[in-house]
Amino acid sequence: MQALTFHSPYTIIHTSASRPRLCSPTDAIVRIRFAGLCGSDLHIYRGTEPGPDRGTVMGHEFMGVVAEVGSKVVGINVGDRVGGAFTTCCGECYYCTHSLSSRCINGLLLGYVSSSVGLHGTQCEYVLIPNASSSLFTCPPLISDIETLLLGDVLTTGYHCALNGVENVYGFRKEPMDEETASAKQRELNRKAELVVIVLGCGPVGLMAVVSALYLGVGKVIAVDMVEERVQMARMYGAEGARPDAVRDAVRNCTDGRGADVILEAVGNNSALSLALELVRPGGVISSVGVNNSDTFPFNPTSAYNKNVTFKTGRCPVMSLLPQVMPLVLSKKYDLEKIITHRMKLSDGNKAYEMFDKKTNACIKVVFEVGVEE
- Residue 222 identity (one-letter amino acid): I
φ, ψ for residue 359 (rounded to 5)?
55, 40
Whole-angstrom distance, CA of residue 33 vs CA of residue 62: 8
Question: Which member of 29, 32, 96, 216 binds Zn ion (CB under 5 A)?
Answer: 96
For the bound state, the minimum distance from the C-beta of residue 364 to Zn ion, rounded and expressed in Å, comes to 14
- Residue 197 identity (one-letter amino acid): V
Which residues are within 8 A (CB) of 183 and not within 5 positions of it... i.e. 6 or more apart? Answer: none
Note whether 153 binds Zn ion by CB under 5 A.
Answer: yes
Contact at 8 Å (CB) between 250 and 221?
Answer: no
Note whether 40 binds Zn ion by CB under 5 A.
Answer: yes
Note whether 90 binds Zn ion by CB under 5 A.
Answer: yes
Note whether 197 binds Zn ion by CB under 5 A.
Answer: no
Segment interacting with Zn ion, rule: CB under 5 A, options 149-157, 181-189, 195-203, 365-373: 149-157
Contact at 8 Å (CB) between 60 and 85?
Answer: no
Q: How many residues bind Zn ion (CB under 5 A)?
A: 8
Nearer to Zn ion, 96 or 149 (CB): 96
For the bound state, the minimum distance from the C-beta of residue 61 to Zn ion, rounded and expressed in Å, comes to 6
Nearer to Zn ion, 11 or 99 (CB): 99
Whole-angstrom distance, CA of residue 266 vs CA of residue 370: 28
Note whether 125 binds Zn ion by CB under 5 A.
Answer: no
For the bound state, the minimum distance from the C-beta of residue 246 to Zn ion, rounded and expressed in Å, comes to 29
Nearer to Zn ion, 40 or 287 (CB): 40
Query: What is the DSSP track for 70-112?
Result: -TT--S--TT-EEEE-SB---SSSTTGGGT-GGG-TT--BTTE
Nearer to Zn ion, 111 or 165 (CB): 111
Please give the residue ranges that form the binding site for Zn ion (CB under 5 A): 38, 40, 89-90, 93, 96, 104, 153
